[in-house]
Amino acid sequence: MREHSAIEIILIMTKRTILVVDDSPTIQKIMEKEICPANYNVLTASSGQEALDILEEIDPLPDLITLDIEMPGLDGFEVCRYLRIGSQQTDQRRQEIAKIPIILISARDTLGSHEKGYALGVVNFMKKPFAEGDILRAIENILDADEQFEDMAALIVDDSALTRRIIRKILSRHGLTIHEASRGEEGLAIIEGQSCKIDIIITDYLMPGISGDEFCRKCRQLPGMERVPVFFVSAVDRKSTVLSFFRAGANDYLPKPFIEEEFRARVLPHIRNRLYLKELNALNSRLKDMAERDALTRLFNRGYLEQEGRALFSHAQITAQPLVFILLDLDFFKDINDTLGHVFGDLVLREFAEILQHFVGDKGITARFGGEEFVILLPGVNTEEGVELAEKIHQYTEQYIYSDGKKEISETCSIGVASYLEHKPETFDRFYSMADTALYCAKKGGRNQVRLFSWEMQR
């Protein structure tokens, strides 16, 4: 075994280390020339046994191993098998060695070699001779998978456990949550169970049960799956079959066997586009929320109330369905701002809004109309039910204590109620006017009470 100088030991401790295992001095030099300038330390071994010796002694362990398959003595597969066995042993060092990512390198790139290597936990294959930049790019894709998609999920549907393992390893390094299925039917069940939180589907064509194209068609029919990218990987490359993938709704296709670089190059743009779409939808949702919600209380704002309220009013006119308008005002709220400050006043507004939301929930629309005035619209609720809800809010508010931990007060409210079926307003504005008249009478009558609109109030 080659002795390492003090300078080499320092490099090992300060840089990430790549162990290059190849019986060709030329390949060793090519790889050193390409990898070292990228701030990596390169250790070399000319045989499988030398590599094992280095791994027994070196500390810290290398970050990645490139391993030639065809070598005298122990070949690459035998070395890989020996290293991976460590994951089943109790020795902690052997367990750590077993976790080191391995790139297999060979002049003979065959499907059998791929299957054998991936079964042993190899993360990538490189075929000799490789072009300038290829090996460094492969290393950095493994050690620096800097493009992360941690809040995204992939579904892999393939009856080959080996293919699923290969794809899982690639996508897991990019932070995706992975779901797996060996049949199309199982994949559909996963999608339905995840409530459309799948962001990309990678599927085979030939599987037990339904075929890949039929699985894709069924996916597209599920709610929320219309724009989720579907990526086919298949050993079947007949033109008519490939066309059937796209007719079923596929976004892309890659023939088996594939190398990691090509898979990543083809799949990551779809994931990236999906992420951009999700971010755009989230932005639109935030903008919609800002346009419709009151910033302080998070209730709907006046603009939203005007729009949706008029729609509810029109529906009540057409269908003769009940609709109740409740207008609420906090009593003497200005005094709170003047004596306790606007910060405490904001606390009162937020907590009063929470009280309203607690009682209304999804039964209607709760909005901040302006200042200390709030509105509740209750479709499908009759007069008696509307007044009953208003009384519950009034009684609860009357006994509620607002506190910031230093100061505390109680605060009452006055409430006016109007009913579409009972009072028959001609317009939404008239409906509001009726509730406002009832609220005015509640205030004039001493505040802290609920009043239902009556025609006598206008005399």
Q: Which of 234, 110, 104, 219 is nearest to 160 (CA)?
A: 234
- My answer on whether 319 and 451 are in the same domain is yes
pLDDT for the residue 84: 86
Type of residue numbered 212:
G
pLDDT for the residue 173: 82
Question: What CATH number has the domain bearing residue 440?
Answer: 3.30.70.270
Domain boundaries, position 106: 6-143
CA distances from 323 to 160, 164, 199, 379 (A): 59, 56, 42, 4
Question: What CATH number has the domain bearing residue 210?
Answer: 3.40.50.2300
Strands across the sheet with 323-330, in order?
365-370, 373-379, 323-330, 413-419, 450-452
pLDDT for the residue 9: 41
User: Length of the chain, please?
Assistant: 459
Of 265, 289, 313, which residue is a domain's last?
289
Instruction: Please list, in sequence order, all residues whose beta carbon lies within 8 angstroms of the beta carbon of residue 373, skipping any fewer than 6 positions away.
Output: 327, 328, 329
Q: How confident is the model at residue 12 (pLDDT cuts 50, 70, 90)?
A: very low
Q: How confident is the model at residue 197 (pLDDT cuts 50, 70, 90)?
A: confident
Residue 138: is its pLDDT beyond 70? yes
Residue 326 CA to residue 369 CA, distance in Å, equals: 11
180 membership: H or E segment, kind and range: strand 177-181
Q: How confident is the model at residue 209 (pLDDT cuts 50, 70, 90)?
A: very high
Instruction: Please list, in sequence order, all residues whose beta carbon lies within 8 angstroms of the beta carbon of residue 85, skipping any fewer than 6 positions away.
Output: 94, 98
Is the residue at 401 inside a domain? yes
- My answer on whether 311 and 443 are in the same domain is yes
Token reading at 352: 């009063």
Residue 8: is its pLDDT beyond 60? no
Is the residue at 148 inside a domain? no
Q: What is the pLDDT of residues 157-190, one digit of tens each?
A: 999 998 898 899 889 888 899 999 999 999 999 9
Q: How confident is the model at residue 264 (pLDDT cuts 50, 70, 90)?
A: confident
- My answer on whether 215 and 98 are in the same domain is no
Q: How confident is the model at residue 230 (pLDDT cuts 50, 70, 90)?
A: very high
- My answer on whether 223 and 268 are in the same domain is yes
Pick from 59-73, 337-351, 415-429: least confident: 59-73
Whether pTM > 0.85 for this model: the answer is no
Of 289, 311, 329, which residue is a domain's last?
289
How many other CB atoms are found less than 10 A from the CB of residue 14?
Answer: 10
How many other CB atoms are found less than 10 A from the CB of residue 57?
Answer: 8
- My answer on whether 74 and 121 are in the same domain is yes
pLDDT, greater one: 216 or 114? 216
pLDDT for the residue 10: 41
Is the residue at 160 inside a domain? yes
CA distances from 184 to 181, 205, 217, 221, 232 (A): 7, 10, 11, 14, 13
Cα pseudo-dihedral 187, 188, 190, 194, rounded to 10: 140
Instruction: Please list, in sequence order, all residues whose beta carbon lies within 8 angstroms of the beta carbon of residue 203, skipping any fewer than 6 positions away.
Output: 156, 157, 158, 184, 187, 212, 215, 216, 230, 231, 232, 233
- If DSSP codes are grouped into helix, strand and coil, which group holds residue 167? helix
Mean pLDDT (the chain, rounded): 90
Residue 1 CA to residue 375 CA, distance in Å, equals: 83
The domain total for the chain is 3
Q: What is the pLDDT of residues 437-459, one digit of tens each?
A: 999 999 999 999 999 999 998 76
The mean pLDDT of 127-154, rounded to a whole number, is: 82
Instruction: Please list, in sequence order, all residues whose beta carbon lies within 8 angstroms of the beta carbon of residue 100, skipping any fewer than 6 positions away.
Output: 61, 62, 63, 64, 65, 83
Residue 2: is its pLDDT beyond 60? no
Of 221, 255, 289, which residue is a domain's last?
289
CA 313 vs. chain centroid, Å, equals: 38
Q: What is the pLDDT of residues 380-395, one digit of tens each?
A: 999 999 999 999 999 9
- My answer on whether 82 and 107 are in the same domain is yes
pLDDT for the residue 453: 96
pLDDT for the residue 385: 96
Radius of gyration of the chain (CA): 34
Residue 191 CA to residue 195 CA, distance in Å, equals: 6
The mean pLDDT of 269-289, rounded to a whole number, is: 88
- My answer on whether 240 and 204 are in the same domain is yes
Residue 293 CA to residue 291 CA, distance in Å, equals: 6
